[in-house]
Amino acid sequence: MNLISYPDRAVQAEQLAQLVASELQGAIQIKAKATAAFAGGTTPVLFFEALAKQALDWSKIAFTLTDERQVDPSNERSNARLLQTHLLGGLQPAASFQSLYQAAQTAADLDNLASQLQENFLPLDSVVLGMGNDGHFASLFPQASNLELGLDPNNSTILLEIRAPDLPEARISLSLAALLQAKHLHLLITSADKHQLLEQAQANLAASQPRQWPIEALLQQAGDKLTIHYAP
């Protein structure tokens, strides 16, 4: 695990955008295409806007999300809408996007979507995750249904439906196992509170304490593949 600290969020966004652009360009040079998955929420907005300004052949890049609320893409809570507004809007039709929204939400639909991701996206070239104040990443929340399956690095399930007591709607999330396949993993965090939680999670791991937050599973399994980008 590597940690990069930035003086502010604008610098963090710009430098992370340059790094991810370099990773995507490297993938294009090797295999003529690149894939990326990004978190939703407000934290990565500046990063999205900075990435949209990078000089890339967007026609060779396919994007998806690390997780999605099961709400219509027009809903203001939709991660797809956020990505469309701050990144994809100026890049399409060149860049392609795979939604995780499933209107029917049946097991067969989820299996079909997982198959599409397996065939067209995995292993991902670049992943940018966020972390909540409760230590969740993607939609792998504490007390969530399927959490243990989602955090098992050895399972073959790449996509899960997630429900939790405090979530107003179901979510679809990539599993830790799917995320660990990525060539490059980034964790984007802001605020002193999240930095403190991250330090405590690392201390828990060092002391072999029982897992307190989902993020500990990512820190433990990702190793040097993971780069943490922190700005106050």
pTM above 0.85, yes or no: yes
Amino acid at 81: R
Contact 152, 177 (CB under 8 A): yes
Give the separation between CA 57 and CA 103, rounded to whole angstroms. 31
Helix (H) or strand (E) segment spanning residue 82: helix 79-86
- Read off the pLDDT of residues 23-36 as tens digits, 9 standing for 90 and up: 999 999 999 999 99
pLDDT more than 90, % of the chain: 84
Nearest CA-CA partner of 57 in 85, 83, 108, 96: 96
What is residue 231's predicted lDDT score, i.e. its pLDDT? 98
Calculate the average pLDDT of the chain: 94
pLDDT confidence of 107, banded at 50, 70, 90?
Answer: confident
pLDDT confidence of 104, banded at 50, 70, 90?
Answer: low
CATH tag for 2-231 (out of 3.40.50.1360, 1.10.3720.10, 3.40.50.1370, 3.40.50.620): 3.40.50.1360
What is residue 205's predicted lDDT score, i.e. its pLDDT? 94
Answer yes or no: is pLDDT of 106 > 80: no
Query: How would DSSP label each residue in 89-155?
Result: GGTTTTSEEE----SS--HHHHHHHHHHHHHHTPSPSEEEEE--TTS-BTTB-TT-TTHHHHH-TT-
Amino acid at 183: K
Mean pLDDT, range 30-59, rounded to an integer: 96
Q: Structure tokens of 190? A: 């802001």
- Read off the pLDDT of residues 152-180 as tens digits, 9 standing for 90 and up: 999 999 999 999 888 888 999 999 999 99
Contact 125, 34 (CB under 8 A): yes
Distant-in-sequence, close-in-space partners of 187: CB < 8 Å, separation ≥ 6: 128, 129, 130, 131, 137, 218, 226, 227, 228, 229
Question: How far is CA 103 from each of CA 22, 70, 106, 141, rounded to the nearest angstrom?
Answer: 35, 8, 9, 22
Q: Structure tokens of 108? A: 């067969």
pLDDT confidence of 93, banded at 50, 70, 90?
Answer: confident
Lowest mean pLDDT among 100-109, 132-141, 223-232: 100-109
Instruction: Tell me the CB-side half-sphere exposure of residue 132, using CA atoms within 13 A.
Output: 14
